[in-house]
């Protein structure tokens, strides 16, 4: 009888410990660029040391990250497709959305620059020229934030590239790193966020060909998942993480992250 009581007490202690550990962890559904750039490796140890909350990152394209969060497979959403993020909150999946940081998109291509777009700042003109010359262009084609932006830019240029799918327009259905590798392998132009490009190792003879257009602005946002939609969400820890990211401390940490002496993300959360 005493042994049974002791066993029950041990089980209760274990369950309480497991519950506590669960309370001290969250899942962030994230775009790939923040992970591939090394930003989380830099930020999360600071946050975890300060709060004791463990952050587990699922890095996928923005479209998939949003879908995962809608399915309650995460506590926080951190992506870069503002209209889709606002729709996510409006539909009741997230509590609120806050601007977090920004960088920009660039179009990279081989040094030979077959479409002759190098140095162009007008991204619509560059895309129109690529289409006119039927120069190879590799697209993620995966409903990521980068893919959503790319398609919006093609539309603004008056081009429907998917009509040439499999010809000069190649859709990889892959993440940014894999698409860059595929594009470089076939000599195609690729649109990428600047942070991923700076961190990318396999550049070969590729360089930035198109940059500087204000339409290539790349805004990131952070959204805690709503506990009303997802009762299992760790709402308190999720809000703590979001609050830390937009705090003066979190914003300073984002600004201080560099690769090859270049700042990758620029904090722009509203002032507290």
Pairing of strands 137-139, 169-171: parallel
pLDDT at 118: 97
Residues 6+ apart with CB under 8 A from 235: 75, 95, 224, 225, 227
Q: Give dist(CA 92, CA 15) in Å, integer.
A: 32
What is 104-216's CATH topology?
Answer: D-Maltodextrin-Binding Protein; domain 2 (3.40.190)
- Closest by CA to 220, choosing from 140, 146, 121, 151, is 146
Instruction: Give the confidence band of 22 by pLDDT, cuts at 50, 70, 90.
Output: very low
Report, in angstroms and rounded to the nearest whole number, the Rg of the chain calculated over CA atoms: 21
Map tokens 């606002």 to a residue.
86
pLDDT at 119: 95
Give the domain ranges of the chain.
2-102+218-267, 104-216
**Residue-averaged pLDDT of the chain:** 92
Q: Give dist(CA 70, CA 135) in Å, integer.
A: 38
CA 14 to chain CA centroid, Å, is 36
Mean pLDDT, residues 178-185 taken together: 97
What is 2-102+218-267's CATH topology?
Answer: D-Maltodextrin-Binding Protein; domain 2 (3.40.190)
Identical topology for domains 2-102+218-267 and 104-216? yes
Answer yes or no: is pLDDT of 245 > 80: yes
pLDDT at 272: 57
The model's pLDDT over 207-231, given as tens digits with 9 standing for 90+, comes to: 999 999 999 999 999 999 999 999 9
CB atoms within 10 A of CB 160: 13
The model's pLDDT over 233-242, given as tens digits with 9 standing for 90+, comes to: 999 999 999 9
């Amino acid at each position: 009888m005493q042994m049974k009581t002791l066993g029950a007490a041990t089980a209760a202690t274990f369950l309480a410990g497991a519950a506590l550990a669960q309370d001290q962890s969250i899942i962030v559904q994230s775009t790939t660029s923040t992970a591939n750039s090394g930003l989380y490796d830099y930020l999360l140890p600071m946050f975890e040391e300060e709060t004791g909350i463990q952050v587990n990152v699922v890095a996928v394209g923005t479209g998939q990250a949003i879908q995962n969060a809608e399915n309650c497979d995460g506590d926080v959403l951190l992506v870069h497709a503002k209209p889709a993020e606002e729709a996510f909150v409006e539909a009741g999946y997230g509590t609120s959305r806050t601007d977090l940081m920004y960088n920009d998109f660039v179009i990279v291509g081989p040094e030979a620059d077959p479409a002759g777009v190098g140095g162009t700042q007008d991204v619509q003109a560059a895309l129109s020229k690529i289409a006119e010359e039927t120069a190879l262009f590799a697209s993620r084609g995966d409903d990521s934030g980068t893919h959503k932006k790319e398609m919006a830019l093609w539309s603004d240029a008056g081009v429907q590239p998917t009509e040439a799918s499999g010809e000069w327009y190649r859709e990889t259905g892959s993440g940014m790193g894999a698409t860059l590798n595929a594009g470089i392998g076939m000599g195609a132009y690729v649109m990428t966020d600047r942070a991923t490009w700076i961190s990318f190792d396999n550049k070969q003879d590729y360089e930035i060909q198109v940059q500087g257009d204000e339409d290539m602005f790349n805004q990131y946002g952070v959204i805690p998942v709503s506990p009303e939609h997802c009762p299992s969400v760790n709402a308190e820890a999720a809000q703590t993480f979001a609050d830390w990211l937009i705090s003066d401390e979190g914003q300073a940490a984002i600004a201080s992250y560099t690769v090859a002496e270049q700042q990758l993300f620029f904090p722009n959360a509203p002032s507290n």
